[in-house]
Amino acid sequence: MSLSRLQAGKRLEAAPAPTRHKGLKKGVYVIPSFFTTLNILAGFYSLMATMSGFRLLGIGGVQQVKEAAERFDYAAMAIGWAVVCDTLDGRIARMTKSTTEIGIQLDSLADIVSFGLAPAVLAYAWGYGTALQDWTNVRQLAWFVSFMFVICGGFRLARFNVQASRPRPLKEGTQKVDKKSFVGLPIPVAGCLIAAIVHFSPMPIKYAPHRYDVLAILMMVLVAFLSVLMVSTMRFTSLKSLGTGRRNARLVIGMIALAGLIYLYSQWVLLILATAYVVHGLLSRGFTSLSRRTPEGQPSEVREA
């Protein structure tokens, strides 16, 4: 046997079998994208259910109103399932180290559908859009508020992507990326709060027993407030480090208990969780502002230190 053939034979024996490992690696990369696709599907279903409920309200009648309330409830629950899929695709991508640029961009597109368009249309059809339809000027304002919610959500996602891709400050005063917190209210939380309110009371505001016009205006103010929070510089806990410590057993027990409570009392638990997250961010900002204030009469040298 010649030397060249012997060397070729050794290279073939030393070469690993690439087919199985490459196939497994590709499969790992597909899993996060699969959950992202489910996220988009949930958002699309929410939009279709909202449009169906809005059409039934236009027809009128007691039975149609009940069916419309069911459609709005389905739309709200679909947004909740989108939150689950959005959480799973990020967790799986980080655990398997299968994060890709395409996956990041696809995730943002999914979020703008499920947590931007779907909640904005749901708030309009279920709430102020139908309750204030006889108020000409206010109806136009209601349409504009829902539109601004989508725009602010898109800006929030674009800013997050830019900060994630360029974590170091470009110039003095630019915000650094902190893995423990988000800059601005995350769009899934904003959309989830709207969905939790609808799920808590799926009957359209127009058919509320008392002062439906006041409730509709309050809902419109809430949507506008959430839009401002998304584009603000307030910091909200990211919860990305949850489950990375040594107390995983307690976390698993807590998650099981939470899942049980959501199954039994989904209307109350989901509304409390979404509201608590937003309020926690507001209170943290208030405490931070108070702690940074320097007492009056303190020397300038101490303040500079």
What digits encode the pLDDT tens for the residues 110-131? 999 999 999 999 999 999 988 8
Q: How far, rounded to the nearest angstrom, does the alpha carbon of residue 175 sit from its chain's CA centroid?
A: 21
Distance (Å, rounded) from C-alpha 212 to C-alpha 124?
14
First to last CA, the chain: 80
pLDDT of res. 101 = 75
Distance (Å, rounded) from C-alpha 8 to C-alpha 12?
6
Give 127's DSSP letter: I
Q: Report the alpha-carbon angle 229-244-108, nearest 5.
A: 40
- Alpha helices per DSSP H over the chain: 3-14, 18-59, 62-96, 101-111, 118-123, 129-131, 136-165, 187-200, 212-231, 248-264, 266-292, 300-304
pLDDT digits (tens, 9 = 90+) for 252-287: 788 889 889 988 999 999 999 999 999 988 888 777
3 state DSSP class of 203 = coil
**Angle between helix 62-96 and helix 18-59 axes, rounded to 10 deg:** 160
| CB atoms near residue 75 (< 10 Å) | 30
Residues with Cβ within 8 Å of residue 86, at least 6 apart in sequence: 35, 36, 39, 107, 110, 111, 114, 115, 188
Question: Would you say how long the chain is, in residues?
Answer: 305
pLDDT digits (tens, 9 = 90+) for 40-64: 999 999 999 999 999 999 888 889 9
229 residue type, one letter: L
pLDDT digits (tens, 9 = 90+) for 61-108: 889 999 999 999 999 999 999 999 998 887 777 777 766 777 778 888
Distance (Å, rounded) from C-alpha 133 to C-alpha 119?
19
pLDDT of res. 297 = 45
Give backbone dihedrals phi and psi of 181, rounded to 5 degrees, phi first.
-150, 155
- The pTM (predicted TM-score) of the whole model is 0.81
Residues with Cβ within 8 Å of residue 176, at least 6 apart in sequence: 167, 168, 169
pLDDT band at residue 30 under the 50/70/90 scheme = confident
Give 202's DSSP letter: -
pLDDT digits (tens, 9 = 90+) for 184-235: 899 999 999 999 999 999 999 988 888 888 999 999 999 999 999 999 988 8
C-alpha pair distances (Å), 83 with each of 158, 192, 274: 19, 7, 12
Sign of CA dihedral 218, 219, 220, 225: positive
- In the chain the domains, ranked by start, together with CATH numbers, are 28-169+177-284 (1.20.120)
C-alpha pair distances (Å), 160 with each of 16, 175, 196, 296: 40, 11, 24, 38
User: 191, 118 in Cβ contact below 8 A?
Assistant: yes
Predicted confidence (pLDDT) at residue 2 exceeds the cutoff of 50? no
pLDDT digits (tens, 9 = 90+) for 134-169: 777 787 899 999 999 999 999 999 988 887 766 554
